[in-house]
Amino acid sequence: MNKPPLTLYLAAPRGFCAGVDRAIKIVEMAIEKWGAPVYVRHEIVHNKFVVDSLRDLGAVFVEELDECPDDRPVIFSAHGVPKAVPAAAAKREMIYVDATCPLVSKVHIEAQRHADNGLQMIMIGHAGHPETVGTMGQLPDGEVLLVETVEDVATVQVRDPEQLAFVTQTTLSVDDTIDIVAALNARFPKIVGPHKEDICYATTNRQESVKAIAPKCDAILVVGAPNSSNSKRLVEVGARAGCAYSQLVQRATDIDWRALDGIKTMGITAGASAPEVLINEVIDAFRDKYDVTVELVETAKENVEFKVPRVLREPA
Ligand code: SF4
């Protein structure tokens, strides 16, 4: 049977970032060092395939620290945790390893530094996302004000408009955040913030690469999880950059083939917590149905690598 031709634009960079890579290594090395089970507070990264693979090695995923026994090691996820969490683990004399991405830790340090300088903090982020909860939890309850939209900026109640600073979640939409930061600067001209925002290199690069492929594509699939903030942003960026059909899929079985009927060009990318094996699975599914020509569209090169904590580099 003759398969219809399909040009598949493969975005690069895509998939795993340095923070995700490090967090997964931390769990693997902890199991190697201390044996199973090793407890992990929250999904180490937002990807079911990754979580299931680590569970097979002996990781036990829980949502809260009080679900962990005192005598087993616990790892905190890449998204970061409120200060109260490591404090509670230390009080219980547990072994704990913090897999918070260093770029999230950098935001935690910024928030603390501004508070030490007497500034009230505003966080631009998504309510309830573990990274937002972790960053807001660096300061006492109620000290950090959350804004999610430009509209929120108009109504946020601050102590003193002259004594303010802001930080952002690392996985936001770059374009939306520019607008929110502009609204903050317009309402509070003295507000102190990072040079641009705290959005990380991986989020920025993945959004740029989707923008590059979107105008050429009849459809875009983003491989990623529904609870992955950066993956959901990629879907939005793809749609806004001119692709009529931009969808999230966790794996090849999620592809809605009927919706793709008649396409000639396809874009594929993946969120920072999606492994390459799932991207290849999706590409293979297209090869089964189409005569595929893959074109790599590379908009940046990445060579970022983060070291695992020293405790895992030392012998047991
Ligand atoms: S997306 Fe960015 S902040 Fe999040 S783990 Fe990856 S590098 Fe770190």
pLDDT tens-digit series, residues 5-24: 999 999 999 999 999 999 99
Give dist(CA 220, CA 234) in Å, integer. Answer: 10
The residues of the chain scoring below 70 in pLDDT are none
Q: Residue 195 has what pLDDT? A: 78
Residue nearest to atom 2 of ligand 1 (CA): 200
Q: Residue 197 has what pLDDT? A: 79
Q: Is 162 a catalytic residue?
A: no
Its CATH class, for the domain covering 5-16+201-298, is alpha beta
Q: How many residues does the chain have?
A: 316
CATH 3.40.50.11270 domain residues, the chain = 18-101
Q: Residue 196 has what pLDDT? A: 75
Residue 97, CB-side half-sphere exposure with 13 Å CA sphere = 26
Ligand 1 pocket residue status of 104, Cβ below 6 Å: yes
Ligand 1 pocket residue status of 221, Cβ below 6 Å: no
Positive or negative: CA dihedral 311, 304, 207, 6: negative
Ligand 1 pocket residue status of 17, Cβ below 6 Å: yes
Kindly list the strands in the beta sheet with 74-76, ordered across the sheet, starting from the edge strand earlier in the chain. Answer: 59-62, 38-41, 74-76, 96-98
| Region label for 310, one of left (φ > 0), alpha (ψ between -120 and 50) or beta (otherwise) | alpha
Residue nearest to atom 7 of ligand 1 (CA): 19
CA of 180 to the centre of ligand 1 (A): 21
Kindly list the strands in the beta sheet with 265-270, ordered across the sheet, starting from the edge strand earlier in the chain. Answer: 246-249, 219-223, 265-270, 5-12, 291-298
CATH 3.40.50.11270 fits 18-101, yes or no: yes
**The token pair that represents 36 in the structure block:** 């199973």
Q: Which of 187, 80, 215, 199 shows the shortest CA–CA distance to 134?
A: 80
Q: Residue 256 has what pLDDT? A: 98
CATH code: domain 103-187 is 3.40.1010.20
Residues 6+ apart with CB under 8 A from 210: 11, 220, 222, 234, 237, 238, 241, 267, 269
Q: Residue 315 has what pLDDT? A: 77
CATH 3.40.1010.20 domain residues, the chain = 5-16+201-298, 103-187
